Structure formats: C-alpha cells, structure tokens
Amino acid sequence: MECGINVPSLDLLIKISNALEIESYELFQTAHLKDRKIILKEIKTILSRQSDENIRLFYKILTDIAD
C-alpha cells in the first residue's frame, strides 16, 4: 500500500482510521504537505483576522508546543 502498488479496500481504510482514532477522510488530508512559505503565509492570514485575545491564546499554544 505504501509503495503505491496496491489499493486498499474501503474496509481496510475504515479499520486503519478506527485504529488511529480519526475520521476516514483525515487519511486523505494533505494540507500539512504544503511548502513552508505557503503555510506561513496562510498562518499570517488567519492570525490577521483574529482578536487580540485569540492571538495571545495561539501564541501560548505555539510556545507550549515548541518548547
């Protein structure tokens, strides 16, 4: 499957998503694979629309994760 030779069945995809405790559609999300510059630009856009309170909350979360 990881080599792109076989196509997993729907049942297998459901089993994998259940084992990972995620929704099946999340297996196909690829936004995290975007180029770093694009991701940073999108983050900046998102932050520019936020309240000061949310900005402080995001900052706290990011610094906690980064440490």
- Shared domain for 42 and 67, answered yes or no, is yes
pLDDT of amino acid 67: 78
Q: Which two tokens stand for residue 10?
A: 């729907």
- Shared domain for 1 and 23, answered yes or no, is yes
- Shared domain for 42 and 20, answered yes or no, is no
**Taking the C-alpha atoms of 45, 62, 54 and 35 in order, what is their torsion angle to the nearest 10 degrees?**
10
pLDDT of amino acid 44: 96
Identify whether the C-beta of residue 26 lies closer than 8 Å to the C-beta of residue 16.
no
Total number of domains in the chain: 2
- Shared domain for 27 and 49, answered yes or no, is no
Residue 14 to residues 19, 20, 23, 29, 45, Cα–Cα distance (Å): 9, 10, 8, 15, 34
pLDDT of amino acid 42: 93
- Shared domain for 27 and 39, answered yes or no, is no
Question: Which residues of the chain fall below pLDDT 50?
Answer: none
- Shared domain for 3 and 22, answered yes or no, is yes
pTM for the predicted model, two decimal places: 0.53
Range of the domain at 20: 1-31
